[in-house]
Amino acid sequence: MNDVRSLSDRVLLEQCERFGREALVWRNRFRALLPEVERRKLYLKKGWPSIYVFGKILAGLSEEQVSESLNIAGRLEDKPVLKRLLESGEVSVNKITKIMSIATVENESELAEKVQIMSTRTLETFSRDVRNEAEYGLHVKKAECKTLFAQEANAFGFNEEVVERLKELNQKGIDINEALTAFLDHREEELTRAKEEVATSLPEESTRYIPVRVRNIITQEYGTKCAKTGCTRPSQELHHRRRWALDPSHDPNLIAPLCKEHHQIAHSIDVKVQEMRRR
């Protein structure tokens, strides 16, 4: 090997990235072998006192990582596609672990595609979304409030003035839920009208830059949080529901603010849909 001091910054970085990727693959493959090492008690035959010492000395694994590797093996016995990905080193134990709570014999092929293109954090978000939808249904159930007390109002961040005004309405016999519903309906109507005005005023030919007036109306509608139901993370990306390459439009009706993880999930779904259409 040449003296590393003679390498340019570009070559040095390329080699670091290459060796880093290769090291990760081999580390993943090593972890995939641990269940069989444990089954054969190979570490005892070769003089290691435990599987944990075996993993630490040979691959620098922590006890937690070794335990995680052993636990995942039995859960993949009926999922050969995911098991093959793990044993080949193509995906890490960490990624497989994130989707095991939703993995079934029926959906393992679909999940196998996702673990190869999604980050570990995005997989965690995706799994949580699937579990929530299974438990609560596709739509969030809205609790019916018969009365509105100050304590409940404060849970929404209402200040004292708003709470007092709501109390006054309640004391006058005015249905607070009906009044708030009317306000929300009016807000939605105004947003719909404003979005249509913005959409019709957009030029026919657009660049990828989203105009300020489009960004503003989206912020009015969604605030600063991710548009995915149940997600409370700050929005980081403006996602076009229709692929820009197919429909280069910044129609605010077709744009939603998403956090980094849900944006990646949305694009993975979009890629899957396009693949199905080409078949």
pLDDT of 244 > 90? The answer is: no
Are residues 132 and 30 part of one domain? Answer: yes
Distance CA 120, CA 74 (A): 21
Could you tell me the two tokens for 181?
A: 């519903």
Q: Which residue has the higher pLDDT, 274 or 207?
A: 207
Structure tokens at 149: 């007390």
Among 85, 118, 136, the domain-final residue is 136
If one counts the domains in the chain, the total is 2
- For 39, the 3-state DSSP assignment is helix
Same domain, 12 and 121: yes
- DSSP 8-state symbol, 257: E
Q: Where are the alpha helices (DSSP H) in the chain?
A: 9-40, 42-45, 51-59, 63-74, 80-88, 93-99, 108-117, 120-136, 150-154, 160-171, 176-201, 212-222, 260-278
Q: What is the extent of the structural domain holding 256?
A: 203-278
Q: Which has more confidence, 112 or 141?
A: 112
Beta bridge partners of 225: 234
Residues 127 and 209 in one domain: no
CA–CA gap between residue 219 and residue 208 (Å, rounded):
18
- Predicted local distance difference test score (pLDDT) of residue 136: 60
Domain end point (choices 104, 136, 168): 136
Instruction: State whether 208 and 127 are in the same domain.
Output: no
Confirm whether 41 is domain-assigned: yes
Give the mean pLDDT of the chain.
84
Phi, psi (rounded to 5 degrees) for 229? -55, 130
pLDDT bucket at 47, cuts 50 / 70 / 90: very high
Question: For 159-188, what is the mean pLDDT?
Answer: 87
* Residue 173 belongs to a domain: no
Residues 124, 243 share a domain: no
CB 79 within 8 A of CB 103: yes
Identify whether residues 207 and 99 lie together within a single domain. no
If asked whether residues 131 and 10 sit together in one domain, one would say yes
Query: Given this model, what pLDDT does residue 218 score?
Result: 93
Q: Is residue 119 part of a domain?
A: yes
113 in the same domain as 27? yes
Domain-embedded: residue 255: yes
221 domain residue, yes or no: yes
Does one domain contain both 116 and 218? no
pLDDT band at 152 (very low <50, low <70, confident <90, very high): low
pLDDT at residue 167 tops 90 = no
Indicate whether 11 and 111 sit together in one domain: yes
pLDDT for position 89: 80
> What does the pLDDT read at residue 271?
59
Of the residues 114, 136, 158, which one is the last residue of a structural domain?
136
> How far is the first Cα of the chain from the last one, in angstroms, to the nearest whole number?
48
Comparing 195 with 89, which gets the higher pLDDT?
A: 195
User: Does 123 fall in a domain?
Assistant: yes
Domain assignment present for residue 88? The answer is yes
Domain-located, residue 166: no
